[in-house]
Amino acid sequence: MRIVVASTYVPFRKGGELTVVHHLAAALSARAYQVETVLVPLDSQRPAIMEETLAIRSLDLTESSGNKIDLLITLRTPAHAIRHPNKVAWCCQHHRRPGFDVCYLPEARRIYATSKAVAKRLKQSSDIDVHGVVYPCLFQPERFHSADFGDYFLYVSRLYPCKRQALAIQAMKYVRSPFRLVLAGQAEPAAYAAELQRLVRLLDLEDRVQLLGWVSEGEKATLLANACAALYLPTDADSCGYATLEAFQARKPVITLADSGGPTEVIEDAFNGLIVEPQAEALAAAMEKLWAAKMKAALMGRNAFDTIRLHNIGWERVLEALVA
């Protein structure tokens, strides 16, 4: 079977939108499907989004060099606009501007969402019902393991204002225990890293907070293996996030916020992590709580690992939905 995985992406951004495309293509290839990816650069904030959508609509992915393309899988709006008689949409985000989804998604033979949050937004904004929720998963989960509960909390994510790394830094001002905060990820915009570093200096936290920038996959796995716990603090996210899944695979509990959206679908307070209000003091108290009860944190980490199975997060579920 010939399959094309099509999506849009923001150039020069190392984010989850490209990761899920590449991981899906690799998982399909590992099962002997012939797979190609079609990635269209797109900045959804530009005023020309309507014109760019019409350009994407004009793409013909029904065949290539006389060979029929059997299946088109689309991931990010407005890639769903591409025509194909056998199209399956795996909605990794919900475009906040009305009109996009209702125009093109109903053409798909099946529609899945990557979270309950995305499914809810599709229903509310466009009256589109999905066939189910299929969570993204890690391509090589065995890379992540647990070594020890070290003296730091780890937040691995793109450095971006809506990810609220600044709130994590502010929380350290209220921490009295001798643990550190380690932040890793590429900044977007680049000036945001300097802004965070200024905040660290302003709060006199140079010896308590470390900004590593972008780290390799191997470095990330090692950092997670030795962390006390992980943080993931987005604002109203469309998915549970790779940061959550990677921490779960490393048997680490995850602290998130009550208004973080997707992560709260798989993080259960006091079971596999903590869910607190989006306030620096509350976040500090949560970190102190896990630091003071490492045996309980270890138990929550084991529960976090089991959560992957409990929510049926894996490639068998993904491919069963998208290809079957």
Q: 3-state DSSP helix/strand/coil percent for the chain, to nearest 5?
A: 40, 20, 40
> 3.20.20.70, 1.10.10.10, 3.40.50.2000, 2.60.40.10: which CATH number matches 2-134?
3.40.50.2000
Q: Which fold has domain 141-310?
A: Rossmann fold (3.40.50)
Q: Which of 108, 162, 159, 156 is nearest to 252 (CA)?
A: 156
219 compared with 18, residue with greater pLDDT: 219
The domain ranges of the chain are 2-134, 141-310
Over residues 130-139, the pLDDT tens digits come to: 999 999 999 8
Above 60 in pLDDT, residue 219?
yes
Above 80 in pLDDT, residue 43?
no
Average pLDDT, the chain: 93
Of all residues in the chain, what percent carry a pLDDT higher than 70?
A: 95
pLDDT for the residue 148: 87
Mention every residue, 6+ apart, whose C-beta is less than 8 A from residue 219.
184
Of all residues in the chain, what percent carry a pLDDT higher than 90?
A: 79
Above 80 in pLDDT, residue 17?
no
Q: Rounded to whole angstroms, how far apart are CA atoms 58 and 40?
A: 12
Do domains 2-134 and 141-310 share one topology? The answer is yes
pLDDT for the residue 101: 67
pLDDT for the residue 16: 67
Above 90 in pLDDT, residue 254?
yes
Instruction: Say whether 19 sits in a helix, a strand or coil.
Output: helix
Above 70 in pLDDT, residue 271?
yes
pLDDT for the residue 10: 81
278 compared with 95, residue with greater pLDDT: 278
Above 60 in pLDDT, residue 162?
yes
pLDDT for the residue 115: 95
**In this structure, how many other beta carbons lie within 10 angstroms of the beta carbon of residue 97?**
12
pLDDT for the residue 143: 93
0.85 exceeded by the pTM? yes
* 124: its two tokens: 């509310």
pLDDT for the residue 7: 93
Cis peptide bond N-terminal to 98, omega within 30: no
pLDDT for the residue 97: 56
Above 60 in pLDDT, residue 98?
no
Above 60 in pLDDT, residue 99?
no
**In the chain, where does DSSP find H-type helix?**
16-30, 49-57, 100-104, 116-126, 165-172, 191-202, 217-225, 242-249, 280-292, 294-310, 315-323
What is the mean pLDDT of the segment spanning 218-230? 97
pLDDT band at 44 (very low <50, low <70, confident <90, very high): low
The strand order across the sheet containing 71-74 reads: 34-41, 2-9, 71-74, 87-91, 110-113, 132-133
Over residues 201-212, the pLDDT tens digits come to: 999 999 999 999
Which of 1-10, 90-99, 158-167 shows the lowest per-residue confidence on average (mean pLDDT)? 90-99
pLDDT for the residue 125: 86
Above 60 in pLDDT, residue 317?
yes
Query: Phi/psi of residue 320, each to 5°?
Result: -60, -40
* 292: its two tokens: 């003071």
